[in-house]
Amino acid sequence: MADKARRPRAFEEVLLQVERRIADDGLRVGDRLPGERQLAEQLQVSRASVREALRVLETLGVVSSQAGRGPDAGAVLTSRPDSALTGLLRLSLGLSSLTMREVIDTRLMIERWSAEQAARRAAPEPSGAMGEAMRAMEAAGSAEEFVEHDIAFHMAIAEASGNRLIEAVMRALRDAMRRYAIEAVERLGDTGVLREDHRRIHAAITSGDAAGAADAVTAHLAHAYPELL
């Protein structure tokens, strides 16, 4: 069955609006964006969408998040988004035209590399994001909820690789295939195998076993998509 045209997710629309705001307001490097709540009100979107959009912008090196209140609230512009942001959005919106095999092959290549790099760099995971995602998956009550935390786990690996472009590409890949991931979890029924895979990946990364981390990622994707790998 042919897929319907993919509609942009809320945070992608927010990204476009933030980019327009930066251009229209003539913001320069060092200027501060409005706070999260103010942006949500101005753009008429949820604060969660604004938060996710700002996280992507920070990954791309466009803004630097700043904690604070009043005049100190809001992210600081560290570079002009220009073609970097537009390119990411085009990638995210255009992935729906690719075959699932193409997406999975690309994901396998990227995730193997990310896991190897994360293992080479890793002492015990400083942010704890992988461990937190694993605990959340244990408590997930639906395939949709499981996939949300699964995405957080794999994004944490990309972040731990130390390559911001890899992290941005992985986010686009995972968002594009979110529905397929939910269907894969529903087909499996029992997520025990996937959760055990995550534990092996995490253990290999935190112990510095680069080859073991890459192999664990390969086995994990084979369990999730046996018809493709």
CATH of the domain at 184: 1.20.120.530
Q: Which candidate, 14, 19, 9, 8, places its Cα nearest to that of 63?
A: 19
Q: Is there a single domain that holds both residue 68 and residue 105?
A: no
Return the pLDDT at 4: 40
Rounded to 5°, the CA angle 131-169-107 comes to 70
For residue 122, give the 3-state DSSP assignment: coil
State the Cα–Cα distance between residues 104 and 18, nearest whole angstrom: 31
Do both 27 and 124 map to the same domain? no
Query: Which residue, 86, 120, 142, sits at the end of a domain?
Result: 86
Residue 156 has a pLDDT of 92
pLDDT at 2: 37
The CA distance from 189 to 43, in Å, is 39
Residues 119 and 203 grouped into a single domain: yes
Collect all residues with Cβ–Cβ distance below 8 Å to 18 and sequence separation of at least 6. Answer: 33, 39, 43, 53, 54, 57
Report the alpha-carbon angle 47-50-52, nearest 5: 110
Cα–Cα distance between 111 and 130 in angstroms, integer? Answer: 14
Same domain, 24 and 47: yes
* pLDDT for 3: 41
Enter the tokens of residue 41.
């009100």
48: domain CATH number is 1.10.10.10
Structural domains counted in the chain: 2
CA distance 160 to 209: 14
Compute the distance between CA of residue 112 and CA of residue 128 in angstroms, rounded to an integer: 20
What pLDDT is attached to residue 214?
97
CA–CA separation, 122 and 118 (whole Å): 6
**Residue 146's pLDDT is what?**
94
Res 71: pLDDT: 56
Which tens digit of pLDDT belongs to each residue from 75-98? 888 876 654 555 555 555 556 667
Last-in-domain residue among 60, 86, 112: 86
Domain end (from 86, 106, 121): 86
What single-letter DSSP state applies at residue 32?
Answer: B
* Same-domain check for residues 194 and 117: yes
- Asked if 103 and 173 count as a contact pair (C-beta separation under 8 A), the reply is yes
The whole-angstrom separation of Cα 189 and Cα 120 is 34
| Cα–Cα distance for residue pair 188/173, rounded to 1 Å | 21
CA distances from 224 to 118, 156, 186, 188, 200 (A): 22, 19, 10, 8, 15
Query: Which residue ranges in the chain fall short of pLDDT 50?
Result: 1-7, 83
User: Which domain covers residue 29, as residue numbers?
Assistant: 10-86
Answer yes or no: do 106 and 47 share one domain: no
Whether residue 125 sits in one domain with residue 77: no
| Same-domain check for residues 107 and 209 | yes
- Domain membership of residue 175 (yes or no) is yes
What is the structure's pLDDT at 126?
52
- pTM of this structure: 0.64
Which tokens go with 92? 């995210």
Q: Is 93 contained in some domain?
A: no
